[in-house]
A and B are shown apart, each in its own frame.
Chain A
Amino acid sequence: MAILKPTNIMIAGVGGQGNRTLMKIIASAALEDHNDVRVLSSGSLGRLGSSITCHIRLGPSVSATIPVGEIDILVALEMNEALRAIPMMRQGSLAFIHTHRRIPIIAGIQGMHYQTMEEIENLAANKAIKSIFVPESLLPLDDAVEHQSTNSVMLGILCSYTELFPRPLVEQALCQCLPPQFTQQNLHTFAIGWQYREKLRGPQ
């Protein structure tokens, strides 16, 4: 089922959170779903705690870089990193923001203010962006810390909420993109993310 309308997804996070893996899984699912896909992720210092942004363009495109103001969906694996992407988002777009906080060492030493959820939500609201904050408590501590599964839980939430791809196709892409020893764990956290949609629906 090809996506009819071109869709631009940006992943924002910190090195080591599996940003590029998440990008590859989404791209792989899109390819299987017969979509044109272009992706781009630059910056070699991600591993060393720097910011990472990944551009994913579903549908016909020539350049992999998402034009400014044309991000349709943001997936932020770290809360502060959402702030880097919001200026590039489309009016009325959608942001999935994980509330995990990784305070940059320089910011911690200098006592800089780490923006609150409310501040980020207000900034997003200025562009009519719908922000969906994903609490860290969604994952059991072992899953979040030991298995570093933030990316797969966000994948579950993204795919169930937007219905971009059929679930089996995403699970297949996840298995293709991860080493075999990590697939069961990530399928488990992906399912937690997928089910979170029901909770989101509740109060709406």
Chain B
Amino acid sequence: MNILTAPGKKLFLSGDEAVARAALEKRVDVATGYPGNPSTKVITALLPISRQYEIIVEWSTNEKVALEVASGAAWAGRRSLVTMKMSGINVIADSLLSISHSGVTGALVIYAVDDVGVYYGMVEQDSRYYAMLASLPLLMPSTPEEAYTMTLRAFQVSEQIGAPVFVLSTTAVADAITAIRVGQIEQSQKPTARFQRNPAKFTKATSQWSREQHRDAIKRLERAGELFRTFPEINSISLPPKNQHVAASRIGLIVAGASYAYIQEVFRRTPTYSTQLALFKLGSVYPLPQAELHDFLLCVDSVLVLEELEPIIETHILALVAEAGLQVKVLGKRNGLLPRVGDYTMELVEKAVRVAIGDGSSVALPKTATTNSSNEASNITALPRTAEFCPGCPHRTTYYALQHTIEQLGFDQDEVIVTGDIGCTIIGVHSPLNVCWTEVSMGASIGIAQGFKYAGIDKPVVAAMGDGTFYHNGVAGLLNAVQSGVNLTLIILDNSTSAMTGLQPDAGSGRRANGEPSTQADIAMIAHGCGVTYVKELNPYHLPSMIEELQQAIVYPNVAVVIAKAPCTTQGVLINKQPVQVKQDICLAGTDCQDTPCYSKVGCPSVLLHKDAVKISISIDTSTCVSCGLCVTACPFGAILPIKE
């Protein structure tokens, strides 16, 4: 049974899946995306029903391509959806502005998720700025239910006014799951695909066309604002009973995003707050409903603005107050009350409300909002837990080989800079490998490495990225490095999939998102095509060959590319036929083998260290071990051996 089409009027869906259900109800024609949590589940949910409902669903090579594909379909009159995490918005920016200014003829909904609080990694950013930058209407849900209703509205408005519409969620909404009352799936009425030639709208070939497109984008934005005003579920105002409101010295709240859910929780706990405070809930964050906000501000003496990350709404409110000459005190981030970092919580929102109503003069609000850490003073804290390479991961073996290569070339590990990249490969930053030094954005490792060489770093510089990262945005960096003539080594850790986000296919997988076979890209040929003269592809589990090739690559006078190719091991397939175990009568752990390199140098979850008051011992967890053999190699005493039948 598919989660999006299960029987019943209510479906148990996450915020992401709610977006997918809304897109299905609107009979979206094309849905594209790039895997990146917390947005991945939209495309994942649509894939299993794509054939049944005639939706073209794809994991694109990067977010910019995903947007362009979805836009092309929308220009031809179709309904399109494109999804990505916040980092993807940065990638699409160039095309986003251009497409926004041109508008669409069908419908285009852009769904992205800001990872507020950084639960998945990368930059904590406020992507609402992109709506302003691109003159895009922006809706911001506070719950999965709203993710569903707002996506429905986004399709409706996009089609009605001819503008892409941006639905921006946050992790607390995208990942939350609840029962959502859903509607009917529309009958599909696919128009014939048609694209009318109109260079003045779809090119920027003359300055006048570009100016006119900019003007049109602003007009569409204004129309979107007018439409949003007609949907009562998008923005809402609740005023306290009049007599109490007067008595309570007229305090207002303006709330957007997940904070609205928290304020409702606060009101449930302390119902008197809801009778003291006027509340303006904002779903359309861009454009803001200026007239309604103005009227609301007339009703209050002070207003608390609750929005995560940047003070965007708050700044608009301050401008409104100034323009209208109102005497309204605005509380939020600009006066230092609320933090700009981390995700809000019910407790933080409650404290801010107490300050706003004058019930919290002694309430201290943190500079950084965050929920996911211990907030109690205690001598006993949980052990740190970082991401670890899975048992037998080929990336571990590649980095292990790189460590040995650096040593054998006569360098210390601290002398050879290794620029890392996005995805599983960055786990090499953690102990015990400690290989990667930097992480910037998809494919950036090679440009950064080139910069180090330009700066005059005379020791070798190595860049490391996965295959998906290379396809996404690494090729341009490689071309640039080759053209520059610098000497650096690029290691591509090729497992032929986007592993970290859930094994989505990439250009080298040989299959499409829906499982159909596809052409398989060849990284070695791409590297040759870029002009690289040293390209080697080899199996990272052949450790001596890896070390030898890496040595040659590092001393090569130009750009050298080493492709360490082996499949992801998460499926648990044994690499070598026989599983291994520690022969306890040979193992000298804790006696003549104090540093237990099979454990402390390899860092594999399947190698278990047992310590008690008397002794140290090592064993292999055969339920997870895939027999890659790295611990066997690392053991100086030959104590890890294949289990005999």
Contact = CB atoms under 8 A, between A and B. Distances in A.
Contacts of B389: 48
B37 interface: yes
Contacts, number: 153
A81 B382 contact: yes
B385 A50 contact: yes
Given A62-B261, A65-B371, A106 B177 contact: no
B389 to A, nearest CB: 7
Given A87-B375, A108-B609, A40 B570 contact: no
Contact of B345 (A50, A68, A109): A68
B175 interface: yes
B623 A146 contact: yes
A119 B119 CA distance: 28
Interface stretch (B69-77, B104-112, B407-415, B423-431): B423-431
A53 B385 CA distance: 13
Interface in A50-81: 50-51, 53, 60-65, 67-69, 80-81
Contacts of B621: 145
A114 B119 contact: no
Interface stretch (A31-39, A156-164, A196-204): A31-39
A49 B385 CA distance: 7
Contact of B388 (A48, A83, A114, A145): A48
A72 to B, nearest CB: 15
A21 interface: no
A42 interface: yes
B176 A49 contact: no
A44 B599 contact: no
B599 A109 contact: yes
A50 B387 contact: yes
Contacts of B179: 31, 36-37
A123 B599 CA distance: 31
Among B177, B268, B430, B603, find the residue whose CB has the most chain A CB atoms closer than 10 A. Answer: B177
B264 interface: yes
Contacts of A104: 383-386, 388
A45 interface: yes
B183 interface: no
B176 A45 contact: no
Given A38-B178, A62-B264, A106 B347 contact: no
A63 B119 contact: no
A107 B599 contact: no
Contacts of B384: 104, 106-107
B388 A105 contact: yes
Given A103-B383, A106-B430, A67 B346 contact: yes
B378 A87 contact: yes
B172 interface: yes
Given A48-B427, A103-B609, A61 B265 contact: yes
A105 B383 contact: no
Given A62-B264, A105-B605, A49 B383 contact: no
A114 B346 CA distance: 32
Given A62-B264, A146-B623, A43 B119 contact: yes
Chain B, interface residues (CB within 8 Å), range: 35 or more
A80 B431 contact: no
A81 B427 CA distance: 21
B498 to A, nearest CB: 11
Interface in B239-259: 258
Given A49-B387, A87-B374, A112-B383, A43 B120 contact: yes
Given A50-B385, A51-B385, A112-B383, A64 B176 contact: yes
Contact of A65 (B172, B382, B603, B605): B172
Interface string A84-122: 100100000000000000111111111010110001100
A42 B378 contact: no
A63 B178 contact: no
Interface in B573-624: 599-600, 603-605, 609, 621, 623
B362 interface: no
A45 B121 contact: yes
Interface in B1-59: 12, 37-38
A42 B175 contact: yes
Contact of A109 (B265, B378, B381, B603): B603
B262 interface: yes
Contacts of B175: 40-42, 64
Interface string A2-29: 0000000000001000000000000110
A38 B383 contact: no
Contacts of A14: 385
B168 interface: no
A105 B500 CA distance: 19
A123 B265 CA distance: 29
Contacts of B603: 105, 109
Interface in A106-156: 106-110, 112, 114-115, 119-120, 123, 145-146, 148
Given A63-B258, A112-B383, A39 B388 contact: no
Contact of A48 (B383, B424, B604): B424
A61 B143 CA distance: 11
B143 A27 contact: no
Given A40-B175, A64-B177, A68-B371, A50 B382 contact: no
Nearest to B269: A67
A62 B599 contact: no
Contacts of B430: 106
A95 to B, nearest CB: 14
A83 B265 contact: no
B363 to A, nearest CB: 15
B380 A119 contact: yes
B258 A44 contact: no
Given A41-B175, A44-B501, A105-B603, A84 B382 contact: yes
Interface in B375-402: 375-376, 378, 380-390
B424 A62 contact: no
Contacts of A42: 38, 119-120, 171-172, 175
Contacts of B609: 103, 108
Contacts of B431: 105-106, 109-110
Nearest to B623: A145
A119 B177 CA distance: 35
A49 B382 contact: no
B638 interface: no
Contacts of A69: 347
A51 B382 CA distance: 10
B557 interface: no
Contacts of B599: 108-109
B597 to A, nearest CB: 11
A48 B261 CA distance: 31
A63 B385 contact: no
B372 interface: yes
Given A63-B346, A64-B178, 13 more contacts: A39-B177, A40-B175, A40-B177, A49-B385, A53-B372, A62-B262, A67-B345, A68-B375, A80-B383, A104-B388, A107-B384, A108-B609, A148-B623
18 contacts: A40-B176, A42-B119, A43-B119, A44-B501, A45-B121, A47-B390, A48-B389, A49-B386, A64-B177, A65-B176, A103-B383, A104-B385, A105-B431, A106-B384, A106-B385, A109-B431, A110-B431, A112-B383
5 closest Cβ contacts across the A-B interface? A64-B176, A83-B382, A63-B261, A42-B119, A49-B388
